[in-house]
Amino acid sequence: MSDALPSGSTIGILGGGQLGRMLSAAASRLGFRTHIYEPSADCPASHVAHRTTTAAYDDADALAAFAQSVDVVTYEFENVPTGALDLIEAQAPIRPNRRALAISQDRLAEKQFLQGLGLATAPFAQVDTLDDLQTALNSIGAPAILKTRRFGYDGKGQVRLNTNNEPATALATLEGAPAILEGFVDFSLEASVIAARGLDGAVSAYDPGENVHEGGILRTTAVPARLTAAQRNDAVLLAGKVLNALDYTGVIGVELFVTPRGLIVNEFAPRVHNSGHWTQNGCTVDQFEQHIRAITGWPLGDGARHSDVRMENLIGDDIVRVPDLAAEPATALHLYGKADTRPGRKMGHVNRVLGPVR
């Protein structure tokens, strides 16, 4: 702890959504203050943070003042503009580091990085033109998924190609954005590993969770996942390989497909992750506190799971179920304080504690 930030230090968080909100709450439990930087007014994180700057990511004066006010900076989403990071990093350390962020921002770079570590991925090909797409389809086959290389999330920025799809139409839907074609993976289930690496290089991983997506959006995560002991071990080891290769500091989410041929890495997110929300009620130290510990130089907490948990996202009109959910036994509500309800918008989540680990 000699080099760790003391309680009372200020953590800057880029992004003011629900992840920033939960990071702020976790930081406050350890005596830290948080300063949110977010372009939108009345963001969820502003309700619980010590301070909020509402400004654009190209506002050099606001970025400089923000960086001067904090002791370390982290982020709750991947698509922070490079120019903003340049201004901040001149005055405050950014954790996780810029390399992890840059790789995760580009699906092609991410796939190439993962394969360079000897990890299995879906077959993929770079697509910049219609000829590229046709060549990729001839090699990879269909069904396949055409995705923008940057900025897509929760099913956005992608289109599925079947054998009868018109490639030109599919490419046009991406409106000229650089793209990647990914082959379809025949998997038995989707899983993810939430893991952390400290400033001292120590690594701690949570139990893998089993994920169910609907319409490209995570609906539920359950622990324990239906994995063999060998699969659980392999999942944790590959997450550790990614962390060490990136010289990473903080929490990472690594999404996986479970196939008869082994584990295939879908993608990683250099931040706390939706599929790790179960840790709030299944572990003594949840993913949000673990991230705060890592980026401030504190020892990592014990990530052992004490309970079986099923996390369910509350999406759009699911928010009307809150009164009934609040009456359910062994159920923990986590609401994000969002005023506007929209289809596909995450309004909160609920953790159902199913009992102690057996």
Please indicate, yes or no, whether residues 84 and 158 belong to a single structural domain of this protein: no
The overall average pLDDT reported for the chain is 94
Per DSSP, the three-state class of 33 is strand
- What is each CA distance from 211 to 188, 237, 268, 310, in whole angstroms? 11, 19, 14, 10
Confidence at residue 155, expressed as pLDDT on a 0 to 100 scale:
55
Assigned domain for 106 exists: no
Between 153-162, 250-259, 286-295, 330-339, the lowest mean confidence (pLDDT) is in 153-162
Assigned domain for 332 exists: yes
Please indicate, yes or no, whether residues 154 and 58 belong to a single structural domain of this protein: no
- What is each CA distance from 147 to 85, 140, 270, in whole angstroms? 25, 14, 19
Assigned domain for 114 exists: no
Assigned domain for 305 exists: yes
Query: What is the end-to-end Cα distance of the chain in Å, rounded?
Result: 35
CATH number at residue 156: 3.30.1490.20
- Decide the pairing of beta strands 307-315 and 262-269: unpaired
Please indicate, yes or no, whether residues 326 and 205 belong to a single structural domain of this protein: yes
Q: What is the pTM of this model?
A: 0.94
286-322 per-position pLDDT tens digit? 999 999 999 999 999 999 999 999 999 999 999 999 9
Query: Tokens 């503009």 map to which residue?
Result: 81
22 and 334 Cβ atoms separated by less than 8 Å: yes
Assigned domain for 107 exists: no
47-90 per-position pLDDT tens digit? 999 999 999 999 999 999 999 999 999 999 988 998 999 999 99
Q: How many structural domains is the chain composed of?
A: 3
Assigned domain for 109 exists: no
Confidence at residue 3, expressed as pLDDT on a 0 to 100 scale:
83
Residues in CB range of 192: below 8 A, 6 or more apart: 208, 209, 211, 221, 253, 254, 255, 256, 273, 275, 276
Please indicate, yes or no, whether residues 207 and 335 belong to a single structural domain of this protein: yes
Please indicate, yes or no, whether residues 168 and 203 belong to a single structural domain of this protein: no
CATH number at residue 70: 3.40.50.20
Q: Which residue from 279, 326, 350, 305 is spatially nearest to 26, judged by alpha carbons? A: 279
75 is in which domain, residue-wise? 10-94
Assigned domain for 101 exists: no
CATH number at residue 343: 3.30.470.20
Q: Would the pLDDT of 284 be above 70?
A: yes
Q: Would the pLDDT of 252 be above 90?
A: yes
Please indicate, yes or no, whether residues 293 and 325 belong to a single structural domain of this protein: yes
Cis peptide leading into residue 123 (ω within 30°): no
Boundary-marking domain end, from 164, 183, 202:
183
Per DSSP, the three-state class of 131 is helix
Please indicate, yes or no, whether residues 136 and 278 belong to a single structural domain of this protein: no
Assigned domain for 39 exists: yes
